[in-house]
Amino acid sequence: MKRFTGPAFLFLLLLVALALVACAPKQAVKLTVWMNGSDSFIGPNEQQKPQEQWYISEAFRRFEKANPGVTLELVVQADQNAAHTNFKTAGLAGNAPDVANLWTGMPIFAMKEVILPLDKLVPADDLKKIVGWESVRDGFKADGTILGYPAGQNQICFMMYNKALVKKAGMDWDANPPRTIKDFDAALAKIKAIGVTPILVDEAAQSVNWFFTWICDYWWAQMTGNENIYAETLGQKKFADDQGFLKVLAYYRTLYTNGYFRKDLATSTDSFTQFINGKGAIWPSVTAQLADAEKALGADLGVLMPPEFDSSAKLQNSTIGGPGQSLVVAKNTKYPEMAVKLISFLNSKAEVLAAEKINRYPVVRTDITPADLGWAADSNIAKIQKYATTYNFWVDNQLTPDVANVFYIQCVLVATGKMTPAQFASEMDKKAGLK
Amino acid sequence: MKVTSIGNERARIRRREILLSLLPVVLILAVFRVYPIVVALAKSFTNWNGLYRSDFIGFKNYVDFVNDGPFWMILRNTMILLINVPLQVFLGIVIALLLYEQVPGWRIYRAVIYTPQIISAVIIGFLFKIFFGLEGPFNAILNAVGLQGLAIEWFGNSLTALGVIVFSIVWFSIGWQAIVILGGLSAIPPSVFEAAIIDGANYWQRAFRIVIPMLVRVLEFSVIASGVWSLTQLFPFLFSMTKGGPGYETSTLDYMIYLKSFGMGFGTDYGSATAVAVMLLVLVLALTIMEMKLADRADDWG
C-alpha cells in the first residue's frame, strides 16, 4: 500500500490543479468603442442626462450581461470629423479602438488600411435583413470588401410642404402628388400664383447646397448612375461630359429664373422660420428635421418625395438617403469576433426598436414595419419609411473631398446665373484632376 | 590699468544683466512666435493633413492655390476690404478732432462711439446680415421712401457684399481709432496751438500744419494695427455675414485658411492651409514695411 502513496498523491495534485484551471475566471475581454456624440446611437437630447441613463449605456449593459466576461468602454467623440483622422492615426500606431462609429462611403474607404474587412465575420442573416451595405462596401461595389456595418439611423431626403398653402393653390398632394418634372413645374407655378414662395431654401447656409444635395442629386443619380458619378469624381470620366448632370443643373437654374426659389437663396438663412410661418410652400429636408416641423405646423405638414426627372430611367420611385453612419472594427483589435458580435447586437431588431426612443428615424432593417415602431400608417414618418429600403445612396458622400468642396460651395452660383452648368462642371473636373 | 580692468568687468556684468533680462522675452518669442512660424513655413511644403501624413511636395500647395479658380477673386477681396483702413482712420481723425474741441456733449459721444468695440464681432456680423437682408430693415426703409430700385440683395454679389462688410468694420472700429488719435492729440502741448493762433493760423491751417504732422507716428501705429487686423482678423465678420459666399465672392486669404482646414467635404488640407497662411504673412509684412516707409517719409516732410 505504502508504495502507491507517492503516485496517488501526484495524481491527486494533478486533479486539483486541473480543477483550479477549470474554475479560474476566463480571460477578461475588454472592447473600447468610439461613438459619435450626435446623429448616432446617442440621441440629440441624451447628453443632458447622466451617461449611465443613455440608450447606448443601457444597450452595453445588456450586451455585457448576455456575454459574461466582456466589458465595454464607451468613448464619446464630440467631433466626428476629427474622429476619422484620430482613428486612422491610432490605427497606424496599432492602438485604435476595437469598434468605431464613423461615416459611410468615402471617409472609410480612405482608411481601409486600418479597418478590418468583415466579409467573413458578418452573419448571413445581417446581410439579408440590414440595408445599406453598399455604403460600406469598398468602392460602393456590390462585391466590394465590407469595411463596416451600416448603422444607426437612415436619413431620407424629401420635401416638406404646407398642406394649407397647397390646398389654397388648388391642389391635394396627399391624393395626387406631382410625380414628373412637368407636373412639378405646373404645381410650383400654381403656388407662385397665390403669392407665396414655392420653395424656401437657404442654398448656401453652412456653405452647403441643400436643395441640390437633397433633391437634385436624386435626379442626377437617375440620369447618370452612381457608378458614373463615382468614376467622374475619381477623374476617370468628366463631369463636363455628363449630359445628365448638365441637364439637372440647367433645370436647377430654371427653378430660380422662374421665381420658384426665394430670390435671395444664395444669402438667406431663415427659410425654416419662414416655412413654419407659412411664407413658403416647400422646404427640402431630411428625416432629422421632421419632428420640429410637425410640432410647428401640425396636421398642415405633408411630405413630398422628389418627382421623377426622367421617367424612362432605371432608377424610379426613390430618393437620396441611406445610412450616413457606420460601425467599423479596427485591424488591431484582439477580439474581432466579439467586436462584430457587438455591432450585430446593436443592429439587431430588438435594439433597433429600443433605439427608436431616442431617435425617430427610418430604420436600417427590412424586418421592421411602421407598425412595429408604433407609427400610424398615414403618418409622415411612415410614408418616409417606405423609402428606407429603396433609396439611392448619398451622391455627395461619393465625391472626393476636393470635388465635394467645389460642389457644396459653388453650386448655388449656377442657380443665380453667375456660373453656367458647363463652367461649374469644369471646376469639378479640375478638382478631380482633369483639365 | 586697474581702473580700465574694473571698467571692463562692470561693462561685462552690465552686458550679462542685459542679456539675462532679455532672455525670458526672447525665449517666449522664440517658443510662441518664431517656432510656430518656422513650423508653418515647413508644413506649407508638405501634404500635411494634421496628423499622420506630412510628405514633402515642394511648391505644389502654392502653385495649386494660385492656379485655382478663385485665387484672384480671393486676393481681390482681401485688398478691397483694406479700404476700411483709410476710411476708419479718416473718420477717426474727424471724430477725434470734434472730441478734442469738446463740442457740447462730447463725453457722451466718446462713450457711445466706443460702444461697438465691446460687442462681439459675431453679433455685429449677424446684426448687419439681418439689417441688410433682402427683406431686412435697410431695404424696408428704401422701399418706404420710394427707392425700391436700390433695395437689392446686398449680400448677393461681390461688390455690394464687400461694401456692407467694409461699412460694418468701419462702424466697429471707428471708436477705437478715435480714442487712439485723441490720445495722440492730447499729447500735443497746448502751447503749440496757442503759438499758432497768435501767429494767425486758422482752424484748417492748424489741422494740416500742426495736428497731422505731429500725429504721424500715432497714425502710423493705427494704420499698421488696423491694416494687420483687417488682413488677419475678419473671420468672425465674414463667417457671420456671408460665410465667404456666394461661392467665393467674399472669401479672403484669412477665410480660406479656415475653409481649407475645417471646411466641408471632410477635407483637412492643413498643408495647403499653411501655404495660404504663409502667403498672408508675406502680404502683411510687405504692406507693413511699405506703410512704415511712407510714414518715415511723411515724418521727414513734417
Of the partner residues B134, B264, B269, the one whose CB lies closest to the CB of residue A207: B264
Nearest to B40 by CA among B279, B232, B274: B274
Q: In sequence order, which residues have a C-beta less than 8 Å from that of residue B127 and are 6 or more positions away?
A: none
* Residue A103: closest C-alpha in chain B: B266
CB burial of residue B221 (10 Å; 0-12, 13-18, 19+): middle
Residues of B in contact with A403 (CB under 8 A): 265
Domain boundaries defined on chain B: 1-43, 60-301
In sign, the C-alpha dihedral spanning A338, A342, A347, A352 is positive
Instruction: Report the SS3 class of residue A392.
Output: strand
Interchain contact, B266 vs A266, CB within 8 Å: no
CA distance A203 to chain B (A): 9
Report d(CA A75, CA A60) in Å as an integer.
12
Interface residue of B266, B269, B270, B276 to substitute, partner A, most A CBs within 10 Å: B266
Residues of B in contact with A206 (CB under 8 A): 243, 264
Report d(CA A407, CA A104) in Å as an integer.
19
Q: Does A409 touch chain B (CB under 8 A)?
A: yes
* DSSP 8-state code for residue B211: I
Phi and psi (nearest 5°) for A40?
-145, -140
Interchain contact, B245 vs A412, CB within 8 Å: yes
Interchain contact, A418 vs B246, CB within 8 Å: yes
Interchain contact, A401 vs B244, CB within 8 Å: no
Nearest to A403 by CA among A431, A378, A376: A431
Q: Give how far Cα B38 sits from Cα of A379, B34, B45, Å.
A: 60, 6, 12
Phi and psi (nearest 5°) for B9?
-60, -45
Residues of B in contact with A427 (CB under 8 A): 69
Interface residue of A397, A409, A424 to substitute, partner B, most B CBs within 10 Å: A409
> Residue B190 CB: number of other CB atoms within 10 A?
8
Assigned C-alpha cell, A288? 432629422
AA identity, residue B34:
V
CA angle B67, B69, B74 (to 5 degrees): 95
State the 10-residue block means of pLDDT for chain B, 302 residues long. 73 92 94 93 88 84 86 94 94 90 85 90 94 94 93 92 96 93 90 88 85 88 92 93 90 91 68 94 92 76 50
CB burial of residue A317 (10 Å; 0-12, 13-18, 19+): exposed
Interchain contact, A416 vs B267, CB within 8 Å: no
What domains are defined for chain A?
A: 29-147+324-363 (3.40.190.10), 156-321+398-431 (3.40.190.10)
CA angle B36, B42, B43 (to 5 degrees): 85
Interchain contact, A404 vs B265, CB within 8 Å: yes
Report d(CA A215, CA A303) in Å as an integer.
13
CA distance A354 to chain B (A): 31
What CATH topology corresponds to B60-301?
MetI-like fold (1.10.3720)
* Residue B239: closest C-alpha in chain A: A206
In order along its 435 residues, chain A shows pLDDT tens digits of 455 566 676 667 766 666 665 555 556 899 999 998 877 788 777 888 899 999 999 999 999 999 999 999 999 988 777 788 889 889 988 999 999 999 888 889 888 889 999 999 999 999 999 988 989 999 888 899 999 999 867 789 999 999 999 999 999 999 999 999 999 999 999 999 999 999 999 998 877 899 999 999 999 999 999 999 999 999 999 999 999 999 999 999 999 999 999 999 999 989 999 999 999 999 999 887 888 899 999 999 999 999 999 988 889 999 999 888 899 999 999 999 999 999 999 999 999 899 887 777 888 888 988 888 888 888 999 899 888 888 998 998 888 888 988 999 999 999 999 999 999 999 999 989 876
